[in-house]
Chain A
Amino acid sequence: MRKPLIFSAVFHAVIIALMFISFDLFGKPEILDDATVVELVSPDQIAPEAAPKQEQKPEEKPPEPKPEEPKPAEKAPEVKTETAQSEPQRVDEAAEEPPPEVAPEPKPEEKPEPPKPNPVTKDLPNVRPHDKPKPPKKFDMAAIEKMLLDKRDNTRPQEKDKKTATSPTPKPAPPDTPARSPMDDAKARASIASAIASQIHQCWIAPVGATGAETLVVKLRIYLRTDGSLAQEPVIVDRARMLSDNYYRVAAEAARRAVQRCAPFKLPGEYYDIWRDVTLNFDPSKAL
């Protein structure tokens, strides 16, 4: 019921976007949502406001009513967007525009479930040690099942403490999760999370000192291949704000670049089920 509606909306949006593209001389639709550029395009706006006054170099003598040269008529550096071939780009665009509220599944050519250790993860010392020392847990499946609920309740608050309020509560693990004790699982998740955070941290150049930086928390969803590379372009969850809020867009793009710059991530292959699909909350509020 809702889906067709969404599709229709998206479809129309795309059509409209395409119409713009065909008029847009500069080729990429990105330009169109760049307010400044669009603003600059209109030559009638530019012409009057531009340089004539600056041309007039002020003269020293107060009595002199006018500087030596009369105003040259021109000066207005007109600004317009301009042609470029628009070409294979489409691919990128498509990747850029998933339906806002549903995150598309990565086309996993890889089979995620039975996670094989992969070469990239060899050097992940700080993740493994944490989850290693608990073989005993595995044997008592029944007991663990009984405790399952409580355990979850225990782990969640922990996670939450480290999180900002914006992060949603993790959903319960689907049945296809490899056998692992909830304790193991929680610990693994925690250390993987910190591994990811510390890797991205080095790549993330936040919009420091931006206006309202404390509200610029960007939620990004990423889908990873078994080798830690990006299965697709990171998805900026709040697509709407991305289009309407300049500061947010910059913050979101900075977050996306951070991920793209850091990928592939070095993560333990045996826990691929945990890090296959990750939500990242970039919070620059403490950046000042």
Chain B
Amino acid sequence: MSSHALRMKFIVLAAATLAIAACEKKSEQPISSAPPPPQQSSNAAPQANVNEQMYAPGSQEELEATAGSRIYFAYDDYSLDARAQATLQKQAEWMRKYPNKSVVIEGHCDERGTREYNLALGARRAESAKRYLVSLGIDEGRINTISYGKERPEVVGSNEAAWAQNRRDVTVVQ
């Protein structure tokens, strides 16, 4: 009974959260709203353990499989939410495993900003991931950053779902 109530509570809460998130998206500057975590690329994660051996050690594929290469941001935001931090922690693990590998973190934006500003915002996004990795003990010299602004979207589309997937950092093994 109590577990049922708890479950109800959770569902209501989740619905409310979703509603708020949706509202915030419509109201034009959801600066701090949590980014809807796109499922797509993290699909690889569950299979990771199973398939680990299949990837060349230290390869991009292995990073994607073991840690995930992408983290996502809210509109016009560059702060790292819990999910992004978790991904970066796994990336840091991976980097510790391959101490002679370095990476480039690409910062990307959705199409809803001006070109110049998005270049700057992409740089901020890449930098915040870099800072976080450094704080986890990764050598700064192993992490390069580049901003692509809105020039290289992950998904072609002019809707919230597409924009959410495009507001991202991609960690690329060099």
Q: Does a CB–CB distance below 8 Å link A and B in the complex? A: no
